[in-house]
Structure formats: C-alpha cells, structure tokens
Structure 1
Amino acid sequence: MKAYVFTQYGGPENQEIQELPTPEPGPSEVRIAVRAAGVNPVDWKIRQGHMREFLPRDMPAVLGSEAAGVVEAVGQDVDGFAVGDEVFGSTASNSGAYAEQALLSAAATARKPAGLPFASAAVLPVAGATAYDGITQLELDAGATLLINGIGGGVGVVAAQLARDREITVVGTASEDKRELVESLGAILVPSGDGVAERVRQILPDGVDAILDLVGGDSLRAVADLCADRSRIVTAADPGTAEEVGGVPIERDRTSTVLDAVVALVAQGKIDPHVNETFPLDDAGSALASVEAGHARGKVVLEIG
C-alpha cells in the first residue's frame, strides 16, 4: 500500500511517501480501505517526538490519527463490524491514517451514516470527539458564557456549535482573518494577541463562566483571570499550564459512544465539521504544513481512493 510516513523524529524533512506491506488487524482492530483521513496538530507533534514516551512509534511510522473508509478485514474478538461496512474511527496503536489501508481500534470506531461524506466523518474522531468531551466536562447550563481559546481550528469549530446548541454564549479568540468563520458559528470573535483579556471584558465585563483552551502557554495565561472558578478551565492543549493557572486537562472518552453521539448531531444538521481544505495523499506534506503553520480554518482532510 502507499503511505505517507516519517522516518525519524524531527521536522518535515523526515516525511515521505513509501510503499509498505498491507497491515493485518490484530485483536480488537479492523482494517479499512481509507477514503479520507483527518489532518491534526497531534500528527506533527507525534512526528516531532513530543509524545514518544507514551506513544512510541516504529519507523517508518505512518502519520495520521483518524480515518473513514470501508472495512476490509476484522481482527479477533471484534463484534459489530463486517467486511463492507462504512466506518470512521481512531487509528490503532502504532498505525496511521495517511495511507491506502489503516488499522482502527474497534472500540473507537463507529458506523458512518450512508449520506455522510467520508471527508466529514474522517474529522470526527479527534476534533469532533475532543470538542464533545470538553463541552460535556464543563457541564454548562443554558445562558452560561464560554470562552473558547483558539476557536478557529477543528476542535474549536465543533465546540462552538455544540455550545450554541445548548444555548451557551460563546466568545472565541482567533486571528482577525477567521472572523467570518467564527461569526458563522454563532460566536463572537475576540482577536487574539496583546490585550485579549481587556477585549473580552469589553464584551463581558464580569468575565466568563468557563474556558475551553485549545492553545495553551502564554495564550492561556493571558485569559485565565477571566474565569473566576478556575476549575472551569479545561484544556485540550497544555495540561501543564492549565495546572499552573488552576485548570484541568480534558477528560477524553475515546469510545464509539461519543462518536455515535457526535455523528448523530452531524446527521441532524446541528454540527458542520467545516472541512475547508482537501488534498490527495501524494500532497500530504502540504496538508500537514497548513495545519502545522496554524493557517487552517476548520478542518484539513486527505482524500484517498
């Protein structure tokens, strides 16, 4: 099979297309013919080696963490999936999604509704499910105020829509060039950068009830004081800084239960995954570069097969 891999930890100079053997599914895994793969910041962070201590990879390692496609083989003890099923899910341990074939974890795989494009389904296991977990964890009531720090990416786009559906007022930090996208989500854009907290207070003088952080670092430090109850600061990006300011890391569910819930909302028209850029597998480097540079609005997807 054709796959886009990295050959050692480091920068994009270590990425290339290779021909690899077709993987065989182990216990609790399914193999799919990939039709689409989501491109996420976690992909380049894994390539850089930021997660090698708890996510070690054998080289060459196929990039990518989520995919949608058609089941071609099932491993031992897998129930509920059969050859020919259209599914989407998270990649299995030591597998990747930027390839013609990929192994998915059966526990983190769900059926794709017939009318949903593969590209839309492919971006739900990471960004969609992370957003769902974060909004669920915050337990905000209708009328509450939520700041999404870094609203313009894939997680932020879905989180804003989930919050809007629950009648939560959303303000989001992002660059000015993402204003149209942010306002289309029913959220209020607050341009990021120096003075961001003051700009939020011009809109919400009493601050916010909660913060969903998708950036971390100094960007999180800059807005933390806006939230009186620091336990209502949840991060998907930087647990260390969140702890420093009194917040907590996101609690990920990582099961098909969440995927079923998210895809149902997509099918009902309550969530638009906002797939804004698609690339062929041969141009995976450009797709990942767009995400790594932080320029992507919404989601970037590889379309394969």
Structure 2
Amino acid sequence: MTGMKAYGFTRYGGPEHESYLDLPVPEPGPGELLVRVAAAGVNPADWKVRAGLRRTDLPLEPPVALGREVAGTVERVGGGVEGFAPGDEVFGGTVGSAGGWAEFARVPASFAALRPSEVAVTDAAVLPVAAATAYDALVQLALPPGATLLVIGAGGGVGLAAVQLAVAGGVEVVGIASRGKHDLLAAMGATALAPGSEVRGTVDAVLDLVGGEALRSALSGLGGNPPVIVSAADHAGVAALGGQPVARVRSGERLAAVARLVAEGALDPRVTDVRPFDEAASALAVVEGGHALGKIVLRIP
C-alpha cells in the first residue's frame, strides 16, 4: 500500500487548479491515526484553503488533498496513541496536507472520537467542523434558558446546528438568513429574519457566522451592542465591537458530546447531499457558490 487517490489542488488559486491526485499513503505521526476514509465533509474552508485565504493559519505546499473532516476506519495508529486501535470506526479532523478527500487521511487522536453505531458514517463525517463549532460557541456563550440569541448566518451549516442546540437548551433564537431558509428555521423553533431586517427587542448575545457588514448592520439595529458577541467568521471585526472569536476546543471529548446529541435525536447534522468521490469538483462548486441547502458529503470508495 504505497499510493492512493485523492482530490485537491496543485497550486493556490481558482477551481482550475483542482484535480484528482496520486499521492503516497500518509504515515501517521506520533499521536495520530491513519484512517481509511469512508466519508468526508465539504465545507467553505475547503475552497478558502485552495484559494490561499488560509495560508497564514494553514500553510501548505501543494499538491495537497482537500478536506478538513472525515469518518472511517482506523488503519494504523502512531506512537503514543491510546484509546484507539486498528478497525475502530472513528470520525475527526484532518492534519495539514493529509486532507480527507482521499482514500486515507491522518487524523489527530486528540481530535477524533469513536463513532456511535446509531450515527451514520455520512452524519459523523460532518460533525468536526460545523456542528462542533456550533457546540463550542454555545458552551462559550453559556446562555441560560429564556435568554435570547441572535445568530447571523443562521442558514449555514454552523448556524443550523447552533439554532438546534440553543433551542434545545431553552434559548430563544432569532436567526438572520436568506429567505429560502426561513421555513426550516421556523420549523426548528427560531424566529427568522432576512438580512438587513431590523432586530426588535432585547438580545442577550450574538453569534456571528458571516462577519463584515452583515455583523455591523445587525448590531446597528439593536440600539447598543449586547453584552456578549462571538464570531466564527470575523475575528478582527468582532474584536473592534468588544466581542471575541469563537473559542474552538478541538478535542475528542467535544466530538463525542456532539455525536451523543445526534444519536439521541437532539441534533440533525442536515446532510442533504451525499455524492460519489468522482463528483468532488461539483460538490465544492456548490459550496463555493453558496448554493448548498444542507451539508454535502463525499463517499470515498
């Protein structure tokens, strides 16, 4: 087992630099798992990595495979790994250039968890990025039942998970999203508003998933900033407004907690499009164009 099929990019830039790649099977380093990938999530972070927008926090030397989250079976374990063994069904985040759109991926044991049998592999594959970010944000906000949370960008993957988690915790949610997502948000128990709408009433906290003008516009209608603002999209912008970035806790314990919520039926990852690996390009194009109606997953043969 020396080579594998992957999908990634050969240089930074547009989609024209994407292609299927023949890459060596990565070796798990200390504290890592080598996972035979069964399913991989498709996220906005993937096209941002390819475009070079993440080079500061994620410097890579192409060619590299795309994909920041996977679910599959442990093939080998690196040195010092405890709690995992070959054959275990797991899910987690990927490491550097060993992206998840490939037959094999390196996964930090610290950011991996065993997949409960009640959670489909395609659902598990989309938990480490969007659902775990939402979970981290809600833990950080620590809102009591009855509080009101404004979610800017409530129709995306993180937003839909955050709405479900907040409502389950007894929090009143106002979600700003495109009109095409309003029926879904209402069914989840949120009050849906279109971008640019005036937010009425008292808001105890804001979770921003868009940043920029969308964040500033939403806050301007509140007649004063709420006491707590966190953002997963605009660290500089939220800091200028007295808020903080979402504090990501990339741990197996957090992943296991999110998976339990899925297994219990309290959280729906909203996987609406499962595509074969040979449709990786079109899957990323849908996400990059902002047209995804739910989470997209690639099945890796």
The normalised TM-score by structure 1 is: 0.94
Alignment match, 1:27: 30
Q: Which moved more, 1:227-236 or 1:124-133?
A: 227-236
- In structure 1, give the amino acid aligned to 2:39: A
Structure 2 Cα separation of the partners of residues 280 and 167 of structure 1: 38
Q: CA deviation at 1:54?
A: 2.4
- Native 8 Å contact 2:67 2:101 kept in 1: yes
- Paired residues of 1:161 and 1:185 also in contact (CA < 8 A): yes
Alignment partner, residue 241 of structure 2 = 245
Q: Name the counterpart of 1:280.
A: 276
Partner of 1:15: 18
Amino acid at match of 2:121: F
**Distance in structure 2 (CA, Å) of the matches to 1:96 and 1:136:** 28
Offset at residue 132 of structure 1 (A): 0.4
2:151 matched to which residue of 1?
148
Deviation at 1:272, TM superposition (A): 0.5
Match of 1:265 among 261, 265, 288: 261
The unaligned stretches of length 5 or more in structure 2 are none
Q: Does 1:72 align with 2:75?
A: yes
2:185 corresponds to: 182
- 1:87 maps to 2:106: no
Partner residue of 2:209?
214
Structure 1 outlier segments of 4+, above 6 Å: none
Give, in angstroms, the shift of residue 231 of structure 1: 4.7
The answer to whether the Cα contact below 8 Å between 1:210 and 1:227 also exists between their aligned partners in 2 is: no
Residues 191-222 of structure 1 show CA distances to partners (whole Å, capped at 9, x for unaligned) of 11x3x2x2x21xxxx23111100000100011
Looking at structure 2, the residues matched to 232 and 161 of structure 1 have their Cα atoms a distance apart, in angstroms, of: 20
8 Å CA contact 1:235, 1:248 repeated in 2: yes
- How far the C-alpha of 1:292 sits from its partner, in A, is 1.1
Change (3 A) 1:227 1:278: farther
Pairing 1:92-241 to 2, within 5 Å after superposition:
92-192=95-195, 194=196, 196=197, 198=198, 200-201=199-200, 206-225=201-220, 226=222, 228-241=224-237
Q: TM-score, normalised by structure 2?
A: 0.96
Name the counterpart of 2:290: 294
Whether the 8 Å CA contact 2:204–2:227 is kept in 1: the answer is no
Please provide the CA RMSD for this pair. Answer: 1.3
Q: CA deviation at 1:2?
A: 1.0
CA positional deviation for 1:301 = 0.9
> How many residues are matched?
297
The alpha-carbon deviation at position 244 of structure 1 amounts to 2.1
Does the residue aligned with 2:24 lie in a helix, a strand or coil?
A: coil
8 A Cα contact 2:64 2:99, kept in partner: yes
Aligned residue identity for 1:220:
L
Letter in 2 for 1:241: G
Distance 1:227 1:256 in 2: 40
Deviates more, 1:48-57 or 1:156-165: 48-57
**Structure 1: tracts of 5 or more residues without a match:** none
Query: CA offsets per residue over residues 9-43 of structure 1, 9 Å max, x none?
Result: 11111101112111111111111111111111111
